[in-house]
Amino acid sequence: MTSRYQEMTMLDLVLGLPEQMAEAEVNARRAGLGRRRRYSNVVVAGMGGSAISGHICRTLLAETNQVHVLVCRRYDLPALVTDKTLFVGISYSGNTEETLSATRHARKRGCDMVFITTGGRLGRMAKRMAVPVVGVPAGLQPRAALGHLCTSLLVALERLGICKSFKSALNEAVTLMVDRREAWLRQAGAIARKLDGNLPMVYGTSPLLEAVLDRWRSQLNENSEVMCHTSMLSEHNHNEVVGMGRPGWLARRSVIVALHDRSSPKQNRTRLAHVLDITRGGYREAIHVESEGRSALARVFSLIMIGDLVSVELAALRGVDAMPVERIVELKRRMAGGKKRSRR
């Protein structure tokens, strides 16, 4: 990687999330996007650190929008994708095979398309197929480019007439993160110390937090190199509650991190209190984290930033370098026909 990000650690990058979002908004407003049309749905195709932006937009738009946003993390596309679908291909590297394959399917279905990428094969496809691209700067791990990818997607959807403007919510989120990041880093350090050596079980009490749970899990997986379980209330109460703390060796080894938002139904908060009581002894400890901010977007990003910081702090406690993801690289190499084996 030869870029302005070269000297930055994962902690620097997480702390720089608000600046990244502010920069991305300016860039995305300048990108040429083609004409606006009335679409029956939007499909965002991507994987991992690129797909999460689609998931965040989906949960944000679900609260206010009539147009359904579907996130496709697969090689092909479901039947609801037609020539009335707006297809957004997101791949930070531009080289992820599932995303490239889904893009070929979208072309066959006659979708209007937009790509968000640094280039790679997706960038070359865009040139060949005359597809508009919102470009993002290269040199980052895809998951560390969340600010660029997610903001670009929100702005592109707004400019294509899919949703209302998130401009003031983005401004609020940026200001909030700048003001609160040092305090959140201290909070994250305390959470990470409790998670160290235990299984994180991240619970959400509002549907708005669906993508936040996804982000906490994948950041703990990729930055801290640990397993993480997630679950959403109240569905949890209809199945998982029975299995909690079983097998027994898990009971003293699982730490619940419950994420709350002001949109959390009060019944879900009550349900969680009952769960923690009924299953007492089936988990080590429960930590509660409340979102901050006014707009849904700012609240979602407050919890995302805290989770990202927890993952970096936990990596430090575990003596793990949060940046590389050797197993992902090795899998991609094998799938591309490469031979080299990794022992990690």
Positions that interact with ligand F6R (CB under 6 A): 47-50, 91-93, 96, 99, 141-143, 222, 325, 328
Residue 148 known to be catalytic: no
Shortest reach from residue 323's CB to ligand F6R, in Å: 9
Mark out the alpha helices in 5-135 (DSSP H runs). Answer: 10-15, 17-30, 48-62, 97-109, 120-129
Q: Nearer Cβ to ligand F6R, position 181 or 215?
A: 215
Q: Nearer Cβ to ligand F6R, position 50 or 302?
A: 50
**Residues 187/308, Cβ–Cβ less than 8 Å:** no
Q: What are the distances in angstroms from CA 177 to CA 87, 141, 190, 299?
A: 31, 21, 19, 10
> Active site residue: 222, 225, 292, 313, which one?
222
> What type of residue is 223?
N
Shortest reach from residue 304's CB to ligand F6R, in Å: 14
**Residues 195/232, Cβ–Cβ less than 8 Å:** no
Report the distance separating Cα 332 and Cα 154, nearest Å: 28
Q: Nearer Cβ to ligand F6R, position 122 or 233?
A: 122
Shortest reach from residue 9's CB to ligand F6R, in Å: 14
> Beta-strand (E) ranges in the chain?
41-45, 68-72, 85-91, 112-117, 133-135, 199-204, 229-232, 254-260, 285-290
Shortest reach from residue 74's CB to ligand F6R, in Å: 13
Helix (H, G, I), strand (E, B) or coil at 309: helix
Dihedral angle at the C-alpha atoms of 137, 142, 144, 150, nearest 10 degrees? 80
> Active site residue: 84, 194, 229, 332, which one?
332
> Active site residue: 238, 266, 339, 340, which one?
238
Pairing of strands 199-204, 229-232: parallel
Shortest reach from residue 5's CB to ligand F6R, in Å: 13
Write the burial class of residue 83 (CB in 10 Å: 0-12 exposed, 13-18 middle, 19+ buried).
exposed
Q: Which tokens belong to 69?
A: 């946003």
Backbone phi, psi, residue 221, to 5°: -60, -55
Q: Nearer Cβ to ligand F6R, position 22 or 100?
A: 100
Shortest reach from residue 277's CB to ligand F6R, in Å: 37
Q: Nearer Cβ to ligand F6R, position 96 or 230?
A: 96
Q: Nearer Cβ to ligand F6R, position 122 or 255?
A: 122
Residue 332 known to be catalytic: yes
Shortest reach from residue 140's CB to ligand F6R, in Å: 8
Residue 222 known to be catalytic: yes
Q: Which bin fits 34, alpha (ψ -120 to 50), beta or left (φ > 0)?
A: left
Backbone phi, psi, residue 116, to 5°: -125, 115
Q: Nearer Cβ to ligand F6R, position 94 or 204?
A: 94
Active site residues: 222, 238, 332
